[in-house]
Structure 1
Amino acid sequence: MSIHAVSPLFVGRARELHALGDALTRARAGASSTVLVGGEAGVGKTRLLNEFVDRAGDARVLVGGCLELGTEGLPFAPFTAVLRGLVRELGRDGVAALVPGGTTRGLARLLPEFGEPDKDGAEARARLFEQVLGLLERLAEERPVLLVVEDAHWADRSTRDLLSFLVRYQRTAARLLIVVTYRTDELHRTHPLRPMLAELGRIEWVSRVELRRLTRREAVAQAASILEREPSPAAMDLIYARSEGNPLFVEALLSEAEGGDVLPESLRDLLLASVERLPDETQELLRVASAGGQRIEHDLLTAVAGLDDNALSRALRPAVAGNVLVVDGEGYGFRHALIREALHDDLLPGEHTRLHTRYAEALERDLSILPAPRGAIELAHHWHAAHDSTWALVSAWHAAAAARKSTAYDEQLRMLSRVLELWDQVPDAAERIGCDRLDVLRQTATVAHLAGEYERSLALAGAALAEVDLDADPIRAATLLRQRGLTRYDLGRAGHLDDLRKAAELVPADPPSKLRGQVLETLARMLHRPEDWPEKLATAQLAMEIGHETGDANVEAHARISLAWARWSFSEVEAQLKEFAEARRVARAQGAYNALMRCAISESDALEGAGWHERAAQVAREGVQEAGHYGLARTSGTFLAINLTEPLVSLGRWDEALQVVEQALDLAPPAPYRASLQGFAMDIALARGQLDRADKLLSSSGSVLARGTYREQTVLPHLVRQVLLLRAQGQPGEALAAAARGLEAQSPLSSSRYSWPVLVTFAQLCRAVLGEGGSPYAGVAAALLTRLRETAQELRAVGDLQEAQRLTFGVLAGPEKGPEKGAGAASREAWESVVAAWAALRQPYAEAQCLVGAAHAALAGGDRRGTASMVARARELAAELGATPLLEQLDVFGRRARIGGGDEPEGPPMGLTARELEVLREVTNGRSNREIAEVLFISVKTVSVHVSNILAKLGVATRGEAAATAHRLGLYE
C-alpha cells in the first residue's frame, strides 16, 4: 500500500478558500483589497494558497516569501522574488516599459539587472515604493493581479514598510489583491509584525483569515487520503491527540512514522526550534514541566522543580514571552502537545524515572493540588511512567473509581485497562485492591460499553465468560451474559437473545433481586419481532414490578419505556408520551441517567414516527445536551444526534442536519451510530445531486452494516439509498435488480414505519421505467410493481406519516392494469390529496416531489395555469432545499410543457454559454482538460476556467456529478 507524503485531498478549508475567492472576485470588479492569512506553523497556509492560486483563473499571480536570517529577514526579499519572476516572464525591457516615469533606478535596489540604484536617502526609498506600486498598477490594467507575500513574520523592517505602503495605497490600482501569510505562533508580545497587523486591520479593505486546526473528522479524511484507506479509530485517536488537528503534524506522524510513537526528526526540529532560542535555565525548567503533562498547575511545578516563586517566574517568563508556554488560569500549558512530547522524549532514562517519581510523590503528599478526578489520574500516570508496577496498579484502580464518580468513562476505561495490563506484574494484586481479576474484567467490559468501545466490551465480556464457572458462580455469569447480550445487540451481532435468556435462567426468581430485574428489563427491551410481542409485554411488566419492589429506578423506568412501545402505536402517541413522562419521573428521582437517556431516545423516536417533527427535534436536541452532562456524549449523545437529524431532514432543514451529523461524527461514535448518521447525510447528498459524495457515504455505512445483523430500521433505509443511488447514476436495470433482491431478503416486511418508504421508493422507480416507453426493463418493472401492490395490502398505515406514505404509494402504484400510463394515470384529485398530506406534515421535499405528479395530472387535464402554479411552488421548495436534480426535472418538464415560456425560444439550460455547453459535452465524454483543449483548439487554462464555471452553474462539486447532471437534463440526447 503506497503512502502519500502529502494529502492528495484538500480538507477543511472551504470557508477560507471561499473568502479568498470572494476577494478575488471583488478585485476583478475593480475593488482592490488585502487578506491577511494567519495560522500556526503547519496549519496549512501554503496549501490553502496553492489551492487558491490553482483556481485564480486569468489572474497574474506574483509570489514572494520572506526569509529567516537571524532576527531580521533579508531586505525586500519577497519583492525581489516577485521582480525576478517578472523579468523571467517579460524580460528586463518588458518590465522597464511598465515602470512609471521611464526610469528603473529605484528597482535597481531590488535587482542588479536594472543598473545602478539612485542616491540613498528618504527620497530614494519613496521612489522605490512608488515604482513598485506603479508597476503593480500597470500590470493590473492588463488583467487582475494577485500578489502573495508569504511568511511575513520573518519580514525585515524594509519589507514591512513597503508592504504597509502597498496596502494603504492599493486602491489606486484597480484589480489588485494582496494576500499576506504569517505564523501566529511566532508573534510573541514584542514581535514587530504585531503593531503592523493591528494598524492594517483598521483599514476598510483589509480582512483577516485565521486558519484553525482541523476537526477530528477532517483529520480522518486527510489521513485516509494519505494512506489510501481509512485508519482505524484507535490509530486515529492517537494521531489526532498528538497532532491536535495540525495538518502538517498529521501528515508527518502518518507518512514518516506511519502513526507510530516515534516523533519524526523533521517534525522534532520544527517543534524545538523555538525552545532552543531560550535561556538554558528556561530550557531545563521546560524539561521538568514536560514530565507534568500538557498542562501543569503552578503549585505542582513549584513543588517538583524545588524553586521558590520568584525563581520559578524568572525562569518561566522567557518561555511565555517566546510563545512556548501559555498562561492557563493557575497554571501553564504548552502551546502544542507535540512540543511537550519532543521535550519529554529528550529526557535521559534515569532523568525520566526520577522526574515522574518526584511528580508522584508530590501528588501523594497533597492530591488536592489538582481537581478530582484529574489528581488521581495524573498520580496513576506518574507511577506508571516511573515504572513502579505495584503503585501504578493501585493508583490506577483508585483513579478508575474517581473517574467513575465524574462519569469520565473514557478515563475510567483507560485506568481499568492499565490494572489488567499490570495484573501479572503484581503478585498480590487482588489483595492490594480488594477485587479479583474476573471482577476487574467484568467492570472493564461494562465501562467499555459506556465509553462507546463496543468491540472491546464484547471481547472483554467473552474473555470473562471463558473463565467463569456457570454452575459455581451463576450470579457473576448472569451479569456477564447480560453485558455481552447488550453489546451484541448494539453491534447487530447474533446471539444477544440467547445470552439474555440464559442469564434469566441463572438468576433465581425468588427472592426478587436487582440483577433479575436488570436481566428481564434488558430482555424485554431486545424483543422486537411481532411473534415475540406477548413475551415482551409479560417480561417488561415483571421487570417493572421487580424494579419497583427492589428500589431500582433504572430498571423500573426502562421497563415502563418498553411497555409504552408494546402497548401503543404511532397513532396513539399521546398515551406513549404519558408513559414516557412517568418513566422520566421515576428515573430522575434517583438520578438513573441511563434510563433518562432512553426516555429521550424513545420519545423523540415516537414523535418522529408519528410525524411530529418539530417536537421530535426539540426532545432530541435537549437529550443531546443532557447526554453531554452525564458523560455520554459519544454514546447516547450521538444516538440522540441520529434522532435529531431525522426530523431535521424531514423538515427540510438540511444544512442544520448536516451540521448535527458533522458534530456527532467528530466524537468518533460507535460504528453502527456512525453508519446511521452517514445515511442521513447521504439522503441529503442524493437529493442535492452530489452523487460522488453519496457513493462514498453509502460505501462507508455499508461496510459497517456488513459486519452485523441489524433490524429493519437500519437495513431498510440502507436498501432505499442503494436503489436511489443506482437510479441517480442512470442504472435503472441495476436499481430494479437491487430492489427485487432487497425485497426478497427482507420478506416479510414487519415494520410499517420503515416499510412504507421502501414501497414508495420502489414504486417511483417502476413508474419512471414504465413511463419511458420501450424500456428494456419494462417487464421487470411491471412484475416488481405487482409484487409491491401485494406487499402493500398486507401492511398497515399507522399514524399520519405512514398514511401520507400509503397515499403516495397508492397514486404511484396505480391500478392493477395500465401502469404504462405514467405519472398522469392517477387523478389530479388523488395527487392533490397526497400533496396536502405532505404539506400538513411540513415535509417540503416530499411535497415538492408530489407536486410534480400533480402537475403532470393537471397538464393531462388541460389546466395549464394550474400546472404552472404547481411547478412554481415545487421550484420554490426545491430551490430552498438546494435539491438540484428536482429543479432540473422541473426545468425539463417546464420546457417541454412550455410552462411559463409560451412560444418564446428557450434560453440556455442552467445559464450555460455555448462554449460551456461544448466543454460540458466533452466532460460528459470523459475527456481530460488537456484532451478538451486539443479538441476545441483552446488553452488548458481556458478549459479549466470553463469547467469551474460549469460546476458552479450546475451546483455540483465534481466532473462526474456534472456529467450525471447533463445526462439527467438530456442535453446531448
Structure 2
Amino acid sequence: MTRAKALTRRALAQLDEARDPLTCAWFQLKLGLLTEEAGKGDGWAQIAKAQELVRGLPPSAVHAEVLSSAASWGMVHRPGREALATAVRAVELARVVGATVIELGARVTLGTLLAQSGDLEAGLAEMARARDEADEAGLTSVVIRAATNIAVELELAGRWEQAAAEAARAARVARERNRPNSYAGALASHAEALLATGEWDEAATLLDEAKGAARAADVRAWVALLRAHLAHDRGDQPRLVLAVEEVVAALGSSPVVEPQKAVALRHFTMVLAARRGDLQEARAELARALREGFRPGSYPQAWALLTAAAAHEAETRGLPGSAHGRGPVLDALRRAARQLPRPAPVWEGHALLLEADLARAAGANDPRHWEAAALALEPLGRPHPLAQARLRWAEALLDSGTPRRQAPRHEARRPAAAQGSDSGRSPGDPGRFPEDSGRSPGDTGGSPGDMGRSPGDAGRSLAGTGRSPGELLRAAGAAALRLGAAPLRAEAEALALRARIDLDDKPAADPAPTPQALPAAFDPAESFGLTRRERGVLELVAEGLSNRQIAERLHIAPKTASVHVSHILAKLGVAGRGEAAAMAFRLRLVTPQGAAVPGPVR
C-alpha cells in the first residue's frame, strides 16, 4: 500500500492538471482511496480535488467515477439527501457514458442510501439487482460490496438470519476469487449477525479468521470493534482492552472516523473507565460522545452507548460521590435518546431498556419498565438483551416489597426519551451536562415515580403475564450460560442466592418467592464467603477509604488492611476497589448509606 501511494503521488507530480485534468482526477481518486485504507485520512480532500478537476468538462467515465466516489464517501461519512442526490447523478451519468462497472457500483451506493433514508425495501431491491447483474458480468468487487451492504441493512432492520445468509454469500465469493480484504469484511458482517442471534462461538471463529485476512484499516477497525463487543459481553477484560487498542491502532491518524466506529470506540472507552471504577472519566467520555453527536448511520452504536451509560449510573448509585452530577447526566441521556431514530422493533426494545435503566439510576426501579422491555424483545431473537431485561425485571420484582410513592400509570409508561426533564433549561448542547439547578443529587425530575406496592406484591407476577422472579431468573441464567455471558450469569447467580432461588429448578417447581418468605437473618455476603471483618472492610472500601485510612479506622496495621482487601477482591471476583464497591452496592452487600448488611458473626 505504501508503494502504491508513492507511485500515485509520483504520477500526480509528473502530470499537468491543465493539459490532462481527467487523468489527474483519476489519480486523485486512487490516492484518496489509498489514504483512507491506510488510516491516514478520510480521503475527502482528494475526492474534492477530483471534482474540481472535472467540473465543466464533457461527460466521461472519469466524471462518473468521481461522482460515484463522492456518493460512496457521503454514504459512509455523511449519509443524507446530498449523498443520495449525488448517487442518483452518478448512476445517470455512468449510464450515459456506458460505464457499466461504475454504474453498478453507484447503484449499490444508491440502494444503501435509500435503505438508510427509510425506504428499506426499495434500497434492498436496488442492491440485489445490482448484485445479480454484476455477478453475470463477473464483477467480483461489486458483487461482494452489494452482498455485504445488503447484510448490514438487514441487520439494522433486525432481520439477522437473512443478514447472516447474505454475508456468508459475500464471504464465499470473496474467498473463491481471492479478495482477502473483502473476505474479512464479509466475515465481520456475518459475525455481527451471529452476535445478535446469540451464536457467539461461531462469531468468535469468524472474527479470528477476519482478523488474519483484513488488510485495510477500516476493516481491521471494524473487526476489532466486534471483538471488543464479544469480549465485553463475555466479561473478558484483557481481550476487551486488547481489542480497543487494536481499534485505536487501526484508525491511526485519520482526522475523520466513520460515525459508527467513532461512537462504538467511545462506548468501549467509557466501559473501560467504568470497569476501572473511574466514574468521572466514564462520565467525561460520555460527555465527549454527546458533544460529537450521533450522525446518521450510527444510531445502533448510539443506543448501545446510551444504555451502557444509564446502566453504569444505576450500578454506581450509592457509591460515595456518585450522586453529585447524576441528575444532569440522566437529563443528557434523555435528550440524546429523543434524537435517535427507531426504524425497527429492535430499536424500540433498546429504547425501553434505556428507559428502565434511567428509572433505576434515578432510584425508581419499576418492574413495569423491565416487563415492557422484556416483552418487546421476546419475539426479536436477541437473547442477550432479553436476558438482561429479564434479570432486571426479576430484581425489580424482588426489590419492590418496600412501600413506595404511587406514580400515575400514564407517567410510568411514558418512554424515557419522551419524558423531558430539562426543568426549564434551554436544550443547549446535548454533550454538556447542565448544572443541577438546585435539585437534590440524583433527582432527574423526569423519571417515573416509585410504584406503591404492598410487600406481598414482590413475588407475584405482573400485568397478568404469569412471570415470577424465579422463572425470570432461571430464563436469564440459562441464556447467559448458553451464550457464555459470564457477567450476566454471575449477576443471575448472585441475585438467586440473595433471594434463595434455585436457578436449576424448573419454573413450575418453584413458587414465586416473596421478601417476607426470606429468613430475617439472610446475609447476601454469606454467599461469597465474606467474614464479618471482611464485611466491615468492604463497607469502608465502598466509602472510598484507602488501605491506610481503613487501618486507622479499624485500629489494625495497614498491611493487614491490604490483606483483607485482597481477600475481598478475590472472593468477589473483581479486579479493583471501584468494581468491588459497585458490586457491593448492586448486590446489597452494603447499604447505600455505607453500612454493611448485618450478618452472623463468624
TM-score w.r.t. length of structure 1: 0.45
Pairwise mapping of residues 137-176 of structure 1 onto structure 2 (< 5 A)?
A: none
Shift of 1:607: 0.5
Residue among 377, 384, 394 paired with 1:845: 384
Distance 1:570 1:646, change over 3 A: farther
Task: Give the CA deviation at 1:536.
Answer: 2.2
The equivalences for 1:577-656 within 5 A come to: 577-633=124-180, 635-656=181-202
Where does residue 315 of structure 2 map in the other structure? 768
Q: Is the 8 A contact 2:228 2:244 kept in 1?
A: yes
1:820 to 331, 352, 362: 362
Partner secondary structure for residue 59 of structure 2: coil
Give the residue type in structure 1 aligned to 2:324: G
- Give the number of the structure whose alpha-carbon radius of gyration is greater: 1
SS of 2:80's equivalent in the other structure is helix
- Residue 780 of structure 1 is aligned with which of 310, 322, 325? 325
For 1:346-361, list aligned pairs within 5 A: none
Quick one: distance in 2 between partners of 1:457 and 1:910? 62
Deviation at 1:588, TM superposition (A): 2.0
Residue by residue, what CA displacement relative to the aligned partner does 1:488-515 show, whole Å, maximum 9, x if unpaired?
A: 3444544623322332343376653222
Of 322, 334, 351, 1:789 maps to 334
**In the alignment, residue 238 of structure 2 is paired with which amino acid?**
D
Q: In structure 2, what is the Cα distance between the partners aligned to 1:912 and 1:671?
A: 48
2:384–2:480 CA contact under 8 A, matched in 1: yes
Of residues 496, 499, 516, the one that matches 1:894 is 496
Q: Give the match for residue 798 of structure 1.
A: 343
Q: Distance in 2 between matches of 1:788 and 1:962?
A: 27
1:914-953 CA deviation, whole Å, 9 max, x = no partner?
A: 9xx99xx9xx999xxxxxxxx99xxxxxxxxxx9xx99x9
TM-score by length of 2: 0.71
Q: Is 1:474 equivalent to 2:69 in the alignment?
A: no
Query: Over residues 40-91 of structure 1, what are the superposed CA-to-partner deviations in whole Å (9 max), with x where a residue is unaligned?
Result: xxxxxxxxxxxxxxxxxxxxxxxxxxxxxxxxxxxxxxxxxxxxxxxxxxxx
Shift of 1:660: 0.6
Matches within 5 A, 1:739-750: 739-744=286-291, 746-747=292-293, 749-750=295-296
User: Whole-Å Cα distance in 2 between the matches of residues 819 and 838 of structure 1?
Assistant: 21
Structure-2 residue corresponding to 1:711:
258
1:667–1:774 Cα change, 3 Å = closer
Question: Please, which moves more after superposition, 548-557 or 843-852?
Answer: 548-557
SS of equivalent residue, structure 1 residue 778: coil
Alignment correspondent of 1:878: 480
SS in 2 for 1:601: helix
The 1:847/1:531 distance shift into structure 2, 3 A limit, reads: closer
Match in the other structure for 1:496: 43
Could you tell me whether the CA contact under 8 Å between 1:766 and 1:782 is conserved in 2?
no
CA shift digits 1:405-430 (9 cap, x unpaired): xxxxxxxxxxxxxxxxxxxxxxxxxx
Q: CA deviation at 1:796?
A: 2.2
Q: Distance in 2 between matches of 1:532 and 1:884?
A: 37
| CA offsets 1:789-838 (integer angstroms, 9 cap, x no match) | 11222222212222222222222234xxx95324x1x4x33322211222
CA–CA distance in structure 2, aligned partners of residues 570 and 839 of structure 1: 27
Call closer, same or farther: CA 1:680–1:495 in 2, change over 3 Å: closer
User: In the alignment, which of 656, 670, 684 is matched to residue 216 of structure 2?
Assistant: 670
Q: Deviations over 1:733-775 (max 9, x none)?
A: 321222122222x136444333222222222222223xx2264
Give the letter aligned to residue 575 of structure 1.
Answer: A
Residue segments in structure 1 that go unaligned for 5+ positions in a row: 1-452, 927-934, 937-946
Match of 1:355 in 2: none
Q: 1:654 to 1:570 in 2, by over 3 A?
A: farther
Aligned amino acid, residue 876 of structure 1:
A
> Aligned equivalents of 1:508 and 1:703: distance in 2?
37
Write out per-residue CA displacement over residues 597-646 of structure 1, whole angstroms, 9 at most, x where no aligned residue: 1101110110111111111111111111110122212x111111221121
Which amino acid in structure 1 is aligned with residue 362 of structure 2?
E
Shift of 1:910: 7.9
Show the counterpart of 1:525.
72
Which residue identity is paired with 1:618?
A: A
- Given residue 848 of structure 1, which amino acid in structure 2 is its aligned partner? A
1:139-218 to structure 2, matched below 5 A, reads none
Matched-pair identity in %: 25
Whole-angstrom distance in 1 between the partners of 2:134 and 2:165: 20
**Aligned partners of 1:604 and 1:643 also within 8 Å:** yes
Distance 1:794 1:844, change over 3 A: same
- In the TM superposition, what is the alpha-carbon distance from 1:529 to its structure 2 partner? 8.2
Deviation of 1:679 after TM superposition, in Å, equals 1.7
Aligned to 1:698: 244
Whether the 8 Å CA contact 1:553–1:592 is kept in 2: the answer is no
Q: 1:689 maps to which residue?
A: 235
Q: Distance in 2 between matches of 1:890 and 1:548?
A: 59
Q: CA deviation at 1:716?
A: 0.5
Contact 2:315/2:361, CA 8 A, preserved across alignment: no
CA distance in 2, matches of 1:522, 1:695: 35
Letter of the 2:356 counterpart? V
Deviations 1:136-155 (A, max 9, x none): xxxxxxxxxxxxxxxxxxxx
SS of residue matched to 1:776: coil
Residues 761/457 of structure 1: CA separation in 2 closer, same or farther (3 Å cut): farther
Could you tell me how far apart the structure 2 residues matched to 1:855 and 1:510 are? 68
8 Å contact from structure 2 (residues 197, 383) kept in 1: yes
1:484 aligns with 2:31: yes
Superposed, 1:205-244 pairs within 5 Å as none
Check whether the contact 1:726–1:735 (CA below 8 A) recurs between aligned residues: yes
Whole-angstrom distance in 1 between the partners of 2:150 and 2:315:
37
Decide whether aligned partners of structure 1 residues 456 and 735 sit closer, same or farther in structure 2, where only a CA change above 3 A counts: farther
In structure 2, distance between residues paired with 1:523 and 1:506: 14
Q: Which has the higher strand share?
A: 1
- Please, which moves more after superposition, 572-581 or 528-537? 528-537
Query: Contact between 1:547 and 1:555, CA under 8 Å: does it hold in 2?
Result: yes
Cα pair distance change 1:968/1:727, threshold 3 Å: same
Alpha-carbon distance between aligned partners in 2 of 1:559 and 1:863, rounded to the nearest angstrom: 58
2:470 maps to which of 853, 865, 868: 868
Shift of 1:583: 0.9
Distance 1:846 1:460, change over 3 A: farther
* Paired AA for residue 724 in structure 1: V
Counterparts of 1:909 and 1:623, CA distance in 2: 53
Q: Distance in 2 between matches of 1:589 and 1:671?
A: 30
Q: Deviations over 1:824-880 (max 9, x none)?
A: 1x4x33322211222222111111111122123323152325112111111111111
Find out whether 1:832 has 2:371 as its counterpart: yes
Q: Which moved more, 1:599-608 or 1:528-537?
A: 528-537
Q: Quick one: structure 1 residues 676 and 566, their matched pair in 2 at CA, closer, same or farther if it must change by over 3 Å?
A: closer
Alignment correspondent of 2:104:
557
The one-letter amino acid of 1:525's match is S
Aligned residue for 1:49?
A: none
Q: Does 1:568 align with 2:115?
A: yes
Q: Which residue of 1 aligns with 2:81?
A: 534
Between the aligned partners of 1:964 and 1:532, the Cα distance in structure 2 is 40
Contact 2:278 2:578 in 1 (8 A): no
Specify the SS of the correspondent of 2:340: coil
Contact 2:221 2:246 in 1 (8 A): yes
Q: In the superposition, relative to structure 1, how do residues 899 and 551 fare at CA in structure 2: closer, same or farther (>3 Å)?
A: same
Residue number in structure 2 paired with 1:19 = none
Following the alignment from structure 2 to structure 1, what is the Cα–Cα distance between the partners of residues 120 and 81?
21
Q: RMSD in angstroms over aligned alpha carbons?
A: 3.5
Partner of 2:404: none
Displacement of 1:964: 6.2
